[in-house]
């Protein structure tokens, strides 16, 4: 057997994604390169690792066994690398964070200085909707999660990073000069929602219910960027987090409409399982956040205070 660590890493990613194309994307390789690595690994076994049925890739039972062994090998290699760095006095290990989708506008600023100053820390960030983020946290698959509302049914500890403000927004041609008429306006306007499970969707629905507003027509989209572009195009209005609208507000492609009870203010909060035994990398990151969060916020997000 002459399989390489790289072949095992590629095969492991294939088993996780169930797709050559997706594996290539996540590994930042070309699709042919991934296919070649899979073939080279397969050539060393008489039993198939994968099979394709109806253009869909399946991992065989034997392949699953090899994938489990590959995962153990890859983890051991990472452990050796981390221990080597630790003996050299360098902070090392993997820092795993799950981020709700709109949090992608926030989290990078609270990571950049830490990762730049700790090159031995491997960063693994997953961006998903709230349901998937909380599931990853419950399953102890991540060290931290970034959310805008605290989850129920799970005991967590938390560190507030900054305010999250949600406003009613429309394109530049839309006018609503009288906030008292906002309910009437919203009852007769197309409303653009995020997908089910999104914290922004939950906040928007809660606001509309409190105001007794029933949507005339709805449009549902699966990302903050998609909602933003739909608003700019004039497909409707939406309640959106301010954090992702800086450029659009500056170039006047989106406007904030006055409305009773808005903005909705929550908090961008870093959470972790209560009682979790943190790795050295996670402990160091939490210490960094507690010390530096105010300066990070003031440096990068002071513009939010003007709204």
For 240-294, the pLDDT digits (tens) are: 999 999 999 999 999 999 888 899 999 999 999 999 988 888 999 999 999 999 9
pLDDT of residue 71: 86
Share of the chain above pLDDT 90, in %: 64
Pairing of strands 254-257, 56-59: unpaired
Whether 96 contacts 122, CB under 8 Å: no
Q: Give the chain's domains with CATH numbers.
A: 5-87 (1.10.10.10), 93-162+267-306 (3.40.190.10), 164-266 (3.40.190.10)
As a whole number of Å, the CA-based R_g of the chain is 23
Whether 16 contacts 74, CB under 8 Å: no
Whether 50 contacts 59, CB under 8 Å: yes
pLDDT of residue 279: 86
Whether 229 contacts 126, CB under 8 Å: no
Q: Is the pLDDT of residue 28 over 70?
A: yes
pLDDT of residue 87: 59
Distances (CA, A) of 173 to 111, 181, 194, 231: 38, 17, 22, 11
pLDDT in tens, 116-167: 999 888 899 999 888 899 999 999 999 999 999 999 999 999 999 999 999 9
Q: How far apart are CA 9 and CA 294, in angstroms?
A: 39
- Contacts of residue 79, defined as CB under 8 A and 6 or more positions apart, other chains included, come to none
Whether 256 contacts 273, CB under 8 Å: no
What is the phi/psi pair of residue 166, to 5°?
-115, 130
Nearest to 221 by CA among 123, 112, 125, 101: 101
pLDDT of residue 74: 81
Q: How far apart are CA 94 and CA 82, in angstroms?
A: 9
pLDDT of residue 40: 93
Whether 237 contacts 189, CB under 8 Å: yes
Nearest to 42 by CA among 6, 13, 3: 3
Nearest to 52 by CA among 64, 61, 62, 60: 60
pLDDT in tens, 41-89: 999 999 999 998 888 899 999 999 999 998 888 877 776 776 665 556 6
Whether 200 contacts 166, CB under 8 Å: yes
Nearest to 215 by CA among 232, 239, 198, 197: 239
pLDDT in tens, 101-121: 999 999 999 999 999 999 888
Q: Which two tokens stand for residue 229?
A: 């572009």
pLDDT of residue 188: 87
User: Which of the pair, 253 or 179, is modelled with greater confidence?
Assistant: 253
Peptide bond into 263 cis (omega under 30): yes
Q: Is 50 left (phi over 0), alpha (psi -120 to 50) or beta?
A: beta
Say whether 223 sits in a helix, a strand or coil. Answer: coil
Neighbours of 260 (CB within 10 A): 13
pTM: 0.73
pLDDT of residue 116: 93
Q: Is the pLDDT of residue 196 over 90?
A: no
């Amino acid at each position: 057997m002459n399989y390489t660590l790289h072949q095992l890493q590629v095969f492991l990613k294939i088993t996780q994604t169930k797709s050559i194309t997706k594996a290539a994307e996540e590994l930042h390789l070309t699709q042919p390169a991934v296919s070649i690595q899979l073939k080279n690994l397969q050539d060393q076994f008489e039993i198939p690792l994968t099979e394709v049925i109806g253009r869909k890739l399946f991992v065989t039972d034997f392949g699953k066994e090899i994938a489990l062994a590959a995962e153990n090998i890859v983890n051991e290699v990472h452990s050796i690398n981390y221990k080597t760095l630790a003996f050299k006095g360098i902070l090392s290990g993997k820092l795993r964070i799950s981020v709700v989708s709109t949090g992608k506008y926030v989290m990078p600023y609270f990571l950049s200085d830490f990762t730049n100053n700790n090159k031995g820390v491997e960063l693994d960030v997953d961006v998903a909707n709230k349901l998937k983020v909380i599931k990853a946290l419950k399953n102890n698959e991540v060290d931290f999660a970034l959310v805008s509302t605290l989850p129920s049914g799970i005991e967590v500890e938390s560190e507030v990073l900054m305010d999250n403000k949600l406003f009613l927004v429309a394109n530049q041609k839309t006018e609503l000069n009288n906030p008292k008429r906002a309910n009437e306006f919203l009852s007769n306007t197309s409303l653009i929602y995020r997908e089910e499970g999104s914290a922004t969707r939950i906040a928007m629905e809660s606001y509309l219910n409190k105001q007794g507003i029933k949507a005339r027509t709805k449009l549902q989209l699966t990302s903050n960027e998609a909602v933003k572009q739909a608003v700019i195009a004039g497909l409707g209005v939406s309640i959106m987090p301010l954090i992702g609208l800086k450029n659009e507000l500056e170039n006047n492609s989106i406007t904030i409409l006055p409305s009773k009870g808005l903005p909705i203010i929550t908090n961008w909060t870093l959470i972790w399982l209560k009682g979790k035994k943190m790795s050295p990398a996670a402990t160091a990151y939490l210490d960094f956040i507690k010390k530096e969060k105010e300066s990070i916020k003031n440096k990068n997000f002071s513009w939010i205070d003007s709204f």
